[in-house]
Amino acid sequence: MMTVNGSRTRGTTVTMSRSNHERWRSHHPMQEQRDASPSLLDRREAIAELGDALRDLVEQAVRTEAPADELRQVTADLRRAARPLAVHEREGLRTPSADDLLGGVRMYNPVTGVGSALAPPLRIDLVDGVAIGACTLGSAFEGPPTYAHGGVSAQLLDQLLGYVASATGSAGMTVRLETRYHAPIPLRTPLHLTARVTAVDGRKTTAHGVITTAARPGDLLVEATGAFVAPRPDQSRRLFGAALQRDAIDPSVEYD
């Protein structure tokens, strides 16, 4: 989880909701939500639709028992289908034009981004200072047979802990993540995640979170405690200056 310290008041309690037309909003807004143009909204929706299709493709690819000739035909078809995308590839490490860093939109975040083929995606709401997440892990996330890879559990919790730190006014970059595994996480099963801030000490914020199944929220599967430290402005410029568009370095921008 990577965020840069914001100027918001610590301890703010926010309830975040998502309507269907804002399903791409994956992070807590760092400022008042700005109206997007109809063309940008349409492009975000198209990115989300492509993300859905790519996740379906990944899931089918890891579950298929198709013979070699069919696999090679699909591979050729996919390479042809991808060519028009390469024509419009963004320059270098620039952030995507569909993103809104201050508005909480990161289309390709590998945990929450609806445009990412890598993301479950994890959906997060904030209620009374508690981050509440939901996702279902498909077969692409398998580690032990029928269960999620342990690193995926850590990734989900890192994202959720960083989210709640940022959303309650104490954004920072992960400096420590301690994860404890109580039981394996089943695949293809709705999951329930919660996280809250437990301590704030200057630029350092500590948060704790857990993963359970949605059906059995009392049965703890994985828990983690994370420490997040807000970079100084000079650190932000050094780390992220080359990648940002528009306002160069704004210390309130969320980079995760």
Q: For residue 5, what are the contacts with CB-CB under 8 A and spacing of at least 6?
A: 171, 172, 203, 230, 231, 251, 252
Question: For 179, phi and psi rounded to 5 degrees?
Answer: -115, 135
Query: Rounded to an integer, what distance in angstroms lies between the CA atom of residue 212 and that of residue 219?
Result: 6
Domain with residue 214: its CATH number is 3.10.129.10
Question: Hey, what amino acid is at 171?
Answer: A
pLDDT at residue 180, rounded to an integer: 98
Calculated CA dihedral for residues 38, 43, 48, 49, nearest 10 degrees: 100
Whole-number pLDDT of residue 46: 96
- Cα dihedral across residues 211, 212, 217, 220: positive or negative: negative
Return the structure tokens found at 35.
């109206």
Domain of residue 122 covers 1-256
What pLDDT does residue 102 have? 81
The residues that bridge with 212 in the sheet, in sequence order, are 192
**Domain tally, the chain:** 1
Averaged over successive runs of 10 residues, the pLDDT of the chain (256 residues) comes to 32 36 70 80 95 97 98 98 94 87 90 96 94 97 97 97 92 95 98 97 96 97 97 83 54 48
CA distance 234 to 161: 25
Whole-structure pTM value: 0.84
Q: Output the CA torsion 60→65→66→69 (10° steps).
A: 120
